[in-house]
Structure 1
Amino acid sequence: MSRIITGFFILTVTLPLLSGCWDQIEPQRMYYVNGVGVDFKDNQYEIYLQLINFKDIAKSETPHVPEAPAEIGYATGETMEEAIYELYHSIDQEVFWGHMNYLIFTEEALKHEEVISVFDAFLRFRETRYQMNVHFTQDSLKEILLITPILNKSLIDSKLSHPLNARELEVFTEPVNLRDLVIGLNEPSHEISLPLISIDKNWETTKEHPSKETTIKGIGILSKDGLKGAIIGDTARGINWMHNKKNRGDLTFKLNNNKSLTVDVEKKHLDVKPVIKGNQVQFEVDIKVDVILNGFKKKATENEIRKGVIKKVKEEIMTTYKTGLQLDIDIYRLSEHLYRNNVKVWKTLETNGKIPLTEESIRKINVEIDKIKSGRKTFTETINK
């Protein structure tokens, strides 16, 4: 009898402690948002919701029945929120937004005058984070969101979810998260460059269907008034050398014998200095890099390679800069450099955060090559002809 009383007492004491977890939802009974696509057509928001399958993240070596890595939901509404709630009507479990990794917008959505309110909605929502990446595309949102990474890797390792995974290979342009976007739009020149995502069909598999992958083919420049334009392909390569962060990229140039040489260039330092004379402001750019040889041309000298790299880097910087001027874009945020250096002069020159810029505003580009690394400790060809 005493055991029964003791057991009843323990049960009575512990039950209130357990009841605090009864209203929590088990992880396997929730859907997880990995990415959201936003389009705008016919005065309607079109929302694509990518729900990820977390069973595919930690794969074992044992064979398993393949499952869909993700499903894409689609709905429209007069507001983005209305479209999302329309999607909720067809979802049979609770949706968790805390693991959301990215937002991707179409060109039409970014041109819409209320695009800033979309960013604001994700910033205000309690579950989303400032670290989610922001991209834009000129291709089909649905097709992009359904692309699975190479070798069927998990979607949380894709270029859209974690663009820095490929940093050691090459960084065409720095990824932008919501925090970067807010800072870029709130500070001079009130513009921010977003990675332009495209569909790459250069991959093949053993399956019948051709493989697709996402690629970054340029940048789009967003202001508080919407998208101002895009700079695509080689025309955008100058942005690679004008980041404040350390990064690397490839560089192909002609040698004196008219043969092409491709090298790896690691940018170690960047300094943009305003030079003020009266009411005129120009800028000097100082860049320090290391050069790594991939292949070696027989008649190339170290001095020839040095001159070729310096010339090509300067050309790429100016090509991107001039293209930006044609779109009325301060592509290298020179207005901000003046703002940080001399706010009094900036106030006398700025209009809506931007200062007047011309092709002569960048008066000098200094490219210093710290080291030229030959690879296997030699500066001659490995195989003699």
Structure 2
Amino acid sequence: MKKINFIYKIILLILLFMLNGCGQQSEIDRMLYVHVMGVDIVDDKYEVYVQIINLESKGGKSDNSSGGGGEQAIVGKGRGETVMDAIFNLYEASQRKIFWGHLSSVIFSERFLKEKGIEGIRKVVEMVGRNRETRYTIWMLGTTSKIQDLLTTFPTLNLSPIFTKLGDPIENYRQSSLVMPISLNHFIYNLTEPGGTVKIPLIRSIENYWHGDKTSEGTLIVDGYIFIDKDGFKGLLKDENMAGLKWFQPQADRVYLCLCREDQAPIFLVFDDIKIKTKPQVKNDRATFTINISVKGVVEELNQNVSKQFINEEAAKQIKEEIKRTYKKGLEMEADVYQLSEILYRNDPKAWKRLGFDKKFLLTEDSIQSIKVDAHIMESEKVKLEKMKIFNEK
């Protein structure tokens, strides 16, 4: 029995010496973590930017009572004939291993989308998709700004760069549902579906929004869309020209509307319940669409004494105007902003192909046959629907 135990001990000792443990693994505090990647094209060369976050910076580690030190992040740039060539050019200048598992978003420059189109997008998506460290839930963005300016714009109050629209756009979207974020998996899905058009949020850096004791800090704002389909870059919409798109977001939490007319005081509304139904009809070798929208919300600011019926009618009228304006702007750049072609394909794929939607842009101003909007303002839980009498008014 003693001899058997002795043999077991010898075998166990040999096995212990054979174990490698984590000897070939990189220490987590000795790697460089990519948070954002930006892609541009200059003189027909790919330029890849990466924002490397400092996990020791303030806001970066919750267990560091001192808040950490050093820069919040640093930006690197590689240049090459292809995306991977540019990335390996960046590797050459890196002092440590670059880890892609924390990649949160990819930014395309407008110039890149115009010059490289679908083929350029495919190369970037392929690089991200083939990398075993990345995920398909990263955010896709476009910009007309310099990518380096975006990646060196950090959040206020010394928060980590993780807490920006580049790393967590959903948090802000829940409060103001203007421009809907899009993840990589939905980006691929929309772009590869027959009749699909992708709208990428347009991000830029602006100044003079936030002020400290001695400084004025820049911030990131998402206020537009870039449109892409199988033919490549179509154009972009911003400001009032894209206002109609916010009503095509059934999952939106807070969509605001200002009833701002020259002949009346402004009324601000917020809608949190949007239902939309788009129905295609094919007749005489022509496709038309009817759009029915139902919205429910509350009054956030009331500067005049008006009835609920008046607000509902004015809101429905303005929503309809916004939808028409955005659709018309989309026609000017031959972009299917409301995904009407895809809706027709899903309802009647044979008609979609027979009419030629798979070959060219066929939408016209008359393609939308009717738009019906039903707006319903509910009584506020806190204040009834009337102008508040806080001060004695004359």
TM-score over 0.5 for the alignment?
yes
Q: For residues 28 and 205 of structure 2, what CA distance do their matches in structure 1 show?
A: 33
Distance 1:234 1:286 in 2: 21
Deviates more, 1:330-339 or 1:126-135: 126-135
1:327 to 328, 333, 358: 333
Is 1:277 aligned to 2:283, yes or no? yes
Provide the C-alpha distance between the structure 2 equivalents of 1:229 and 1:44, rounded to a whole number of angstroms.
22
Q: Does 1:286 align with 2:292?
A: yes
- Counterparts of 2:237 and 2:113, CA distance in 1: 15
Identify the match of residue 350 of structure 1 among 356, 360, 373: 356
Q: Unaligned regions of 5+ residues in structure 1, if any? A: none
1:95 maps to 2:101:
no
Where does 1:99-118 land on structure 2 (aligned, <5 Å)? 99-113=102-116, 114-115=119-120, 116-118=122-124
Residue 364 of structure 1 corresponds to 370
Residue in structure 2 matched with residue 185 of structure 1 by the alignment: 191
> What amino acid is the match of 2:70?
E
**Matched letter for residue 208 of structure 1:** K
CA deviation profile, 1:249-291 (whole Å, cap 9, x unmatched): 1111147952221111224311111122231221111212112
Query: Deviations 1:106-152 (Å, cap 9, x if unpaired)?
Result: 11111123312222221222221111111010111101001111322
Residue type of the partner of 2:228?
L
DSSP-derived class of the 1:234 partner: helix
Alignment deviations for residues 163-191 of structure 1 (CA, whole Å, 9 cap, x no partner): 11112211212111211111111113242
After superposition, the Cα gap between the structure-2 partners of 1:88 and 1:374, relative to the gap in structure 1 and judged at 3 Å, is same
Return the alpha-carbon distance in structure 1 between the equivalents of residues 324 and 387 of structure 2. 33
Closer, same or farther: CA 338–64 of 1 in aligned 2, 3 Å: closer
CA positional deviation for 1:40: 0.3
1:326 is displaced (CA, Å) by: 0.2
For the pair 1:131 / 2:134, whether they are aligned, the reply is no
2-side partners of 1:59 and 1:197: how far apart?
Answer: 28
Q: Which residue of 1 aligns with 2:211?
A: 205
CA distance in 1, matches of 2:255, 2:360: 29
SS in 2 for 1:58: coil
- C-alpha distance in structure 2 between counterparts of 1:225 and 1:337, whole Å: 19
Could you tell me which residue of structure 2 aligns to residue 144 of structure 1? 150
Q: CA deviation at 1:206?
A: 2.1
Structure 2 stretches lacking a partner, 5+ long: none
Q: How many residues align?
A: 382
Rounded Cα–Cα distance in structure 1 between residues aligned with 2:359 and 2:132: 31
Greater shift in the superposed pair: 301-310 or 113-122 = 113-122
Is the 2:56–2:69 contact (alpha carbons within 8 Å) kept by the matching residues of 1? Answer: no
Q: For residues 380 and 268 of structure 1, do their structure 2 counterparts lie closer, same or farther at Cα, with a shift above 3 Å needed?
A: same
> Is 1:75 the equivalent of 2:109?
no
Report what 1:263 is aligned to: 269
Counterpart residue number, 2:33: 32
Change (3 A) 1:294 1:61: farther
Q: 1:244 to 1:206 in 2, by over 3 A?
A: closer
Partners of 2:195 and 2:249 lie apart in 1 by 16
Could you tell me the TM-score, scaled by structure 2's length? 0.90
SS of 1:332's equivalent in the other structure is: coil
Q: Is the 8 A contact 1:285 1:365 kept in 2?
A: yes
Mark the CA change 1:82 to 1:254 in structure 2 (over 3 Å): closer, same or farther.
Answer: closer
Amino acid at match of 2:382: R
Asked if the contact 2:161/2:167 (under 8 Å) is kept, the reply is yes
The one-letter code matched in structure 2 to 1:45 is: Y
Give the 3-state SS of the residue equivalent to 1:328 in structure 2. coil
Q: Does the 8 Å contact 1:105/1:137 carry over to 2?
A: yes
- One-letter code aligned to 2:79: T
Q: Sequence identity, in percent?
A: 31
* TM-score, length basis structure 1: 0.92
CA distance in 2, matches of 1:297, 1:40: 50
Distance of 1:353 and 1:370 partners within structure 2: 41
Amino acid at match of 2:367: S
1:66 aligns with 2:72: no
